[in-house]
Structure 1
């Protein structure tokens, strides 16, 4: 298959063909397009963008001019998600748990800055250079444990899955709040109060009502991202050989 034939495959990853983008102009380059796309997605609550809106942001008359630099809308998604993978880091030299803690925490920081990343990361395989660096570095930190290939990747995907799952929940919550106008927790509590009062008066779901009316239910914050990450790592530690498990 020739290079030109490979580039006609619908939905092909931009990394597979690595077409050389045209020479940068004052208005356009691959870097400028990707940066503008990330900024545009950050400005939209659902994080969804169109090539037409992106062209307008860049001051370009036709969206078709952008395709010469990114190949396709899918190619743009590949580039956007890999740019955010570049914000995730894996600490080295301090053991597997410290490595996955760092992956999880920097990943959570990244999805809080760019909630749309969690949705797009599930839509395209993580094959860009930044994504591969994250996986390669994490696998290197797991190498001394002597685990099989499936389990090593399972460790990484457990931590990264927590990042992306939490990011999707954040994205959907932000979209819901924008849609219905409940911008703060106090707004949501005020809207729900009459409904909960009716449930309580009817004697329904008493255990839930007892929890919902407990003033200490959020002190300390339940199931923070960091707490759940530690629980997950505790569970992964049970798969290690006895000599590599932390002391009880």
Structure 2
């Protein structure tokens, strides 16, 4: 005798690449380390075997490429206002995206940026640099300097989030409390007086001058010094 239909678990809706990537992104966002296993992804999608997913993404690296390119699509380049607003918008929008998806920073270092969104992003940034007539290596160096700041800051954010989850200190207050006995011992030993004086200063938690945006502007100032004056003046006209 067959079981009544009410006892059966309905089959999940047909899979698609978009649905798989969306589910993987949700999993990565929820994990402090940003790691996603194919088994966990299959369970989230209601699929019995992880092998069913490979038909849509090819491999785990293929899934990583798709996830990364989805985030590249959240970056933006301001067009028509010159190289500096273009690269500043690239950095600012990238930082917004990587704060939402810190795991992306690891993939950005691990996987080649060859997806459609990544290629469109690079093309837009390079287009804004073309009027400066810089060498090819310099043009790409400008773009990669800004993206390196985004990716490096994102990787630091990811590692800190993973560390905090691992030691059970999710807040700054928790972290300070766990470190306090060790810092007190260091101060009593007197081996590192300058560090101990800093650690005892109540103003050490004041807002630091090196915000993401400030460092981005410092980088753009430095890149600007590489532009020949004739090209910079011509571009302003």
The TM-score with structure 1 as length reference comes to 0.86
CA RMSD in angstroms, aligned pairs only: 1.5
Equivalent position SS for 1:201:
helix
Residue 57 of structure 1, CA deviation: 0.5
Where 1:172 maps in the other structure, the secondary structure is helix
Counterpart in 2 of 1:16? Answer: none
1:161 correspondence with 2:167: no
Displacement of 1:214 in angstroms is 2.1
Quote the Cα distance in structure 1 between the aligned partners of 2:27 and 2:14: 16
Q: Which residue of 2 aligns with 1:51?
A: 38
Deviations 1:40-83, CA, capped at 9 Å, x for gaps: 11111111111111111111111111111111111111111000
- Determine the structure 2 residue equivalent to 1:227: 214
Count, aligned residues:
222
Query: What's the offset of the Cα at 1:27?
Result: 2.8
Please show how residues 84-233 of structure 1 align to structure 2 within 5 Å: 84-233=71-220
Structure holding more helix per residue: 2
Q: Distance in 1 between matches of 2:200 and 2:222?
A: 32
Q: Tell which deviates more after alignment, 30-39 or 187-196.
A: 187-196
> Is it true that 1:82 corresponds to 2:69 in the alignment?
yes
Whether contact under 8 Å (1:51, 1:63) holds in the other structure is yes
Which residue is equivalent to 2:224? 237
Question: Unaligned regions of 5+ residues in structure 2, if any?
Answer: 1-11
**Which of 53, 76, 96 does residue 66 from structure 1 map onto?**
53
Structure 1 residue ranges without an equivalent (≥5)? 1-24
Corresponding residue of 2:6: none
User: What is the CA distance between 1:218 and its match in structure 2?
Assistant: 3.4
- The alignment partner of 1:90 has SS state of coil
Q: Counterparts of 2:85 and 2:196 in 1: how far apart (Å)?
A: 39
Contact 1:27 1:58 in 2 (8 A): no
Structure 2 distance, partners of 1:45, 1:105, is 23
Helix, strand or coil at the partner of 2:114? coil
Task: Please state whether the residue corresponding to 1:31 is helix, strand or coil.
Answer: helix
